Amino acid sequence: MNILISHNWLKDYLETKATPKKIADCLSLCGASVEHLTKKGDDWIYDIEVTTNRVDMMSVAGIARELAAILPQFGISAKLKRDPYQKYTLKDIKLKGTQKLDIIIEDSNKLCHRILGVILDGVKLGPSPSFIQDRLKKAGIRALNNAVDITNYVMTEIGHPAHVFDYDRLTTKKMIIRRAKSGETIVSLENKKYSLPGGDIVIDNGRGEIIDLPGIIGTENSIVKENTKRVLFFIETNNPVQVRKTSITLAIRTVAATLNEKGVDPELSAVALARGIQLFKDLTEAKVASQIYDLYPQPAQPKSISVTLQFIEERLGIKLSSIKVEQILKDLGFQIKTTEEANTKYEIFVPSWRGNDIEIPEDIVEEVARIYGYHNLPSILPTGRLPKVPHDQTFYWESFVKRALKDWGYTETYTYSLQSEELLRKFRLKTVDHLKLKNPLTAEWVYLRTSILPSLLEVLGKNTLREEVSLFELSKVYLPQQKGLPYEIQRLSLVSDSGFYEVKGIVEQLLSQMQIPSYFDPHEKITQLHPYQTAVIKSKKDGLILGIIGQVFSPITQSFSLKGPIIAADLNFDKLVFLAKKQSQYVPLPKYPPITEDLTFINQSGVLAQKIVDKILVTNKLLNQVNILGIFKNNISLRIDYQNPNRSLNDKEVAEIRKKIVANLEKLGLVLRGQLN
């Protein structure tokens, strides 16, 4: 996540003489990455990329805390001027007024970690002071009015989302935090209607009316208006998993949702409330008119980690003083208790804002390393024998197949794994057989594909002006399962307008080079392919189906604006990898010449030519090769080589083998044309 922070705003929390350029360089080396530094008048704007596990840094105060620890490592004096956890506390707020509000959390252990709220009276709505508007604008936020601006200011400065309700529009003075029912609707602040999928965290006014989608976006029926006098300033720390599910499903990506889904610190909510109350008093002349409502079902428990100095040094490969380690960790907000002098052992207490990402001793080592500076760690070559890494055959064969197909004139494509309903309809696939996205971003990307061929045909249709276009793609398809995640299969798909036998030859050659004995069975039918120009590719070893090949049914090619016959092949690449062999078997070249003869058979039964060849080859070991010379009507002409690697064959030996060949083929229903000598 990227955040924009003003340098002048940062100086409210950080005392240092470092220049913005130096701050950007040091922070990028040891913390978050400053992608851009832009000058705006007398100010500088930091565009900072913060890793998703460091939600504590996604604020002005969070960045200031990091810099207070980082800059001293570069010899630059830096100090945190304001620690928000100590500066803004609820104990300093004087409570007055008798306004009431009933807040109920259903299933509190799973919906909300903490809820805080306070009613403020005498609010004077109007534009925010110029410095507030300027800081929000530099943070990429549009100023609206002082009440709404305060919530955005608190979120940007402290790092916890905040919300404000018009208290008088909460007519029931009741708030029930519950799960939404499927089909319930809300109207957002932008007057946009959303239908909830169910299970979402919502706030109900006790009459079944939803008045907020907490942690994500407010609703139109509770926002502040021009005549608002009393407000409910509200801070909630919600279940991050559910917030993300709802945000993604409804395609509502607000900054509040982004922070909440990363798991903001529940302890920070009290800080945000105290800071917000202060700003309401200063900017709107509001007064506290109620008690502070604080619902904290399961308060966060302090976390501690034991680690020794030796443990840290062994993993970093350097010697560090105990004083250095303790100073780094204290600057980051950790509390430390040293329990042993001989082998310095630390009991490290993790601050609440780091509760989500500091779990094990290695996390402590990482904190020390990054603040000390990875660039300061010496580069040392590893010693000893390198472990053997198991080689993944899939990567080898992926490269092999892609290189081979490119050499044979095919162009590789990369198409989306998502397909539209129209694309599936063109290829005569049923949408019910596909997984559908709950919240597709566009009508073009709705269904997870079960076949690559529709996408290849679409690409082919956009290249109709070119002659003899041949395409292939090696990607995954996704087959729905009754339970759990889809079954992912890697498939190799080809389409070409070069003719059936050319594509068949490409597939045969590819399988041959992968050393996978196979044959083509034309007896099975496939809906999308021509009924009389289709074959299933099977393994000779066990009849395992490897894929299909055939001419795409003409109505389908027409729907893709394609003219002429289009040949498609689709193979299960996972099965090919399983059967493929790298090592070839080599035999010496024969010293003695073969005896070659041509035979023609009448094939009234329509036996497959490949089956005939296979039948001949198993007749005798001295049969070197069989080639098909030609097929005319019911006749098939074959050229047969007889060869013994150890000596020359005589006519009598050849005649004996020939008789066995004829006998075996007669069992298949073939008859030799002519007579044997």
**Residues contacting residue 260 through CB under 8 Å, at least 6 positions apart:** 161, 215, 216, 237, 238, 240, 243
Ramachandran bin of 317, using left for φ above 0, alpha for ψ from -120 to 50, beta for the remaining angles: left
Closest CA relative to residue 109, chosen from 243, 297, 348, 291: 297
3-state secondary structure of 164: strand
CA gap 58, 66 in Å, rounded: 11
Give the integer Cα–Cα distance in Å for 101 and 177. Answer: 13
Rg, C-alpha atoms of the chain: 37
Q: Would you list the DSSP string of 287-320? A: EE-SPPEEE-SSPPPPEEEEEEHHHHHHHHTS--
Tokens of 485: 């995640």
**Tokens 């005549």 label which residue?**
227
Pairwise CA distance, residues 115 & 279, whole Å: 20
CA dist., res. 440 & res. 157, Å (int): 34
Beta bridge partners of 288: 120
Helical pair 309-316 and 322-331, crossing angle rounded to 10 deg: 90
Q: Which residues have a Cβ under 8 Å from the Cβ of 160 and sit 6 or more positions away? A: 154, 235, 237, 259, 264, 265, 268, 269, 271, 272
Tell me the pairing of strands 112-121 and 293-295: antiparallel
The neighbouring-strand residues paired with 194 are 186
Which of these, 283, 213, 303, 271, lies nearest to 59 by C-alpha position? 271
Q: 616 and 626 in contact (C-beta within 8 Å)? A: yes
Name, in order, each residue with C-beta under 8 angstroms of 380's C-beta and a sequence gap of 6 or more: 317
Three-class DSSP category at 628: strand
Instruction: Give, to the nearest 10 degrees, the angle between helix 361-372 and helix 309-316.
Output: 60
106 in a known ligand binding site: no
**398 among annotated binding-site residues:** no
156 HSE (CA, 13 A, CB side): 25
Structure tokens at 112: 């909300």
Tell me how far apart the alpha carbons of residues 325 and 118 are, in angstroms, rounded to a whole number: 42
* CA 581/CA 308 separation, integer angstroms: 52
- Tell me if 357 is assigned to a ligand binding site: yes
Hey, CA dihedral for 218, 222, 223, 224, is it positive or negative? Answer: negative
Q: Cα separations (Å) of 541 from 132, 538, 626?
A: 76, 9, 20
Tell me how crowded residue 311 is: count the other CB atoms within 10 A of its CB: 17
- Residue 168 annotated as part of some ligand binding site: no
Please report, in range form, the residues annotated as the binding site for Mg(2+): 357, 363, 366-367
Please report, in range form, the residues annotated as the binding site: 357, 363, 366-367
